[in-house]
Amino acid sequence: MKKTYTILTLTAFIILVVAAVFFYQNSSDKQSIKISSNPWVGFTPFIYAQEKGWLDKTPFKFMWLVDLSDNARLYDRGFTQGFTATQYELLRFKEHSRLKPVFLIDRSYGADAILSNRPLSELSTANEPITVYLELGSLDEDFFNAFIHENKLEKLKFILKNSSQKTMTTVSPSGSAVIMISYAPYVSEFLKKGYVTVASTRSMKSFFVIDALYVDERFVIGREKQYRELLMIFNKALQQFKKDPHEYYETIRGYLEGQSYEDFMDTTTKIQWLNSGIHKDVEAQLYLQNVSIDRLLR
C-alpha cells in the first residue's frame, strides 16, 4: 500500500512538473513578439543584433525568410505579430487597419531594380512577348506596373511568371527577352550574369519604396518602451556598421546569399536610412497611400 502511494505521489509530482513547464513555455511564448524579415540590406542591423545576442533579453524573436509573400502568410496564420516590409506589402493585405508602422527603417534609392537581358530601348520596341520574373503578391507587382506606366510600355505583351529570387538567378540571360524584378542582395547576382539595370528606385519618379517595422497594434499598446529599446538596439547595430563595416559584414554574411563584401558595401549606398529623426516627406508619402502612422515612434 505504501509502495502504491509512493508511486501515485511520484506520478502526480511528475505531472505537475510537466504541466508547470508547459504552462511556463506557453506563457513565455505569449509574451514574445515574433517578427518575420528577410536579408534586405536595411534589415541587416536586426541580423547583426541577433548574432551578437543583443535580442536575447528582449521579447522580440525574428524569423528569417527569402520570399516576400511569406510575411503575409505567416501573419495571417497567427505565427507572427509583425514583419519588416515596404508599404506595398502592407497595402496588399485585405484588412490591415491593425497593422501599423512602429518605426521607419529606410527608403530604397536604387537597391530595388528592374533588370533585363536587353536595354530599355530594345524592350520598348519588342514585337515578341517579354517574360517577366517576379514575386507575385509583393511590391514586385507594384514596381513593375509603375515601370510600365512611367515608360509608356502598355502596348507590349508580357508573360508574368511567379518566381522566387533563387529561381530567377538560374535563368540564363541569353535567348528571348526577359525582365527580372529584384532587390539587394540578389541584384548583384544578376549583374554578374550579364543582366543590365533598366530601372531602379533611384531612376523611377513615380515609385517610392519605404521600409518599416510593421506590427499589429494590439502588440504595441502598452509596450512602447520595448519598441523604443528595439530601436536603440537597431541604432547600435547601425553605428557598428559605420564604425567597422568589415566586422559587421563578417557577422551577417551567412544571411547574404553569397554577396561579397564589395557588393554589400555598394548596396548600402543605394538606400537612405530613416531610423532617426523626423522625415516629413516620407510620412506624407505614407499618408497619401493611406498608411496610418499614429503608432510611429518619434
Would you give per-residue pLDDT tens digits along the chain (298 residues)?
434 444 444 444 444 433 333 333 443 455 899 999 999 999 999 999 999 999 999 999 999 987 767 888 899 899 999 999 999 989 888 788 899 999 999 999 999 999 999 999 999 999 999 999 999 988 999 999 999 999 999 999 999 999 998 889 889 888 899 999 999 888 989 999 999 999 999 999 989 999 999 999 999 999 999 999 999 999 999 999 999 999 999 999 999 988 899 999 999 999 999 988 889 999 999 999 999 999 999 7
Omega within 30 of 0 (cis) for the link into 185: yes
The answer to whether residues 214 and 196 belong to one domain is: no
Q: 200, 223, 252 — which closes off a domain?
A: 200
The answer to whether residues 177 and 221 belong to one domain is: no
Distance, in Å, from the CA atom of 256 to the CA atom of 39, rounded to the nearest integer, reads 6
The answer to whether residues 129 and 268 belong to one domain is: no
The answer to whether residues 105 and 136 belong to one domain is: no
Which residues have a Cβ under 8 Å from the Cβ of 283 and sit 6 or more positions away? 293, 296
Please give the grid coordinates belonging to residue 284. Answer: 506624407
The answer to whether residues 152 and 212 belong to one domain is: no
- In the chain, the number of structural domains is 2
Please give the grid coordinates belonging to residue 117. Answer: 537581358
Question: Residue 66 falls within a domain, yes or no?
Answer: yes
Contact between 172 and 69 (Cβ < 8 Å): no
Q: 169, 200, 231 — which closes off a domain?
A: 200
Q: What are the CA-CA distances from residue 170 to residues 18, 173, 176, 181, 258 (Å)?
A: 49, 9, 15, 14, 14
Question: Residue 293 falls within a domain, yes or no?
Answer: no
Question: Residue 216 falls within a domain, yes or no?
Answer: yes
Question: Residue 15 falls within a domain, yes or no?
Answer: no
Question: Residue 49 falls within a domain, yes or no?
Answer: yes
Question: Residue 22 falls within a domain, yes or no?
Answer: no
Question: Residue 4 falls within a domain, yes or no?
Answer: no
Q: What are the backbone angles phi and psi of residue 61, rounded to the nearest 5°?
A: -120, 120
The answer to whether residues 120 and 195 belong to one domain is: yes
Distance, in Å, from the CA atom of 138 to the CA atom of 143, rounded to the nearest integer, reads 9
The answer to whether residues 196 and 254 belong to one domain is: no
Which residues have a Cβ under 8 Å from the Cβ of 32 and sit 6 or more positions away? 59, 60, 61
Question: Residue 2 falls within a domain, yes or no?
Answer: no
Q: Which domain holds residue 78?
A: 32-109+208-288
The answer to whether residues 64 and 89 belong to one domain is: yes
The answer to whether residues 103 and 250 belong to one domain is: yes
Q: Which amino acid is at 141?
A: E
Q: 150, 167, 200 — which closes off a domain?
A: 200
